[in-house]
Amino acid sequence: MTITLDARSSQNASFVNSIATPILAVNTPQLIGQIGLITLGATTNVRVQLYGTAAFQLPVLPVTTIVTLTIVRGTLPTDPVVFSTSESLDLAIVGPQVLSVNAADYLPPVTPQLTYTMFASVNLLGVVRTGPECFNGSVYSD
């Protein structure tokens, strides 16, 4: 029988256009969200499900823009990558564009707490994080 051990949320911005955070460095991960999942009571087959959403606005002069969302097990961009994806923003869309991810970490090392962090990076300057931004996770065991 599956046991839910913990579930957490990191909610940085709840609504569209609720923040206006420019990304100030190219190809440099910016923290979007971080959660710590407690694994007390874990037996076997530990699994983690992770979900994240972030919205971005193209630069004032729209050019091909690639956003990369990365989830790591840990707190630093150099920690083990659990999931990563890149998406080109649509040049025809004037407003914010929402990117969402759905990831899993199967059989992570069982420690008292598993920390996961979601980062965003872009390939050029002028991109603005607009909200919403959220990062959620749940940990299960058999």
Please tell me the distance from the alpha carbon of residue 25 to that of residue 84, in angstroms, as a whole number. 19
Model's pTM, two decimal places?
0.95
Of 82, 87, 85, whose CA–CA distance to 116 is shortest?
82
Structure tokens given for 138: 């749940």
| pLDDT tens, position by position, 19-31 | 999 999 999 999 9
CA 96, 19, 17 angle in degrees (round to 5)? 40
Distances (CA, A) of 129 to 13, 106, 114, 142: 10, 30, 27, 38
pLDDT at position 45 is: 92
pLDDT at position 78 is: 98
Torsion, Cα 111 82 56 8, to 10 degrees, reads -30
pLDDT band at 43 (very low <50, low <70, confident <90, very high): confident
pLDDT band at 1 (very low <50, low <70, confident <90, very high): confident
DSSP state letters, 1-23: --EEEEEEEEEEE-STTS--EE-
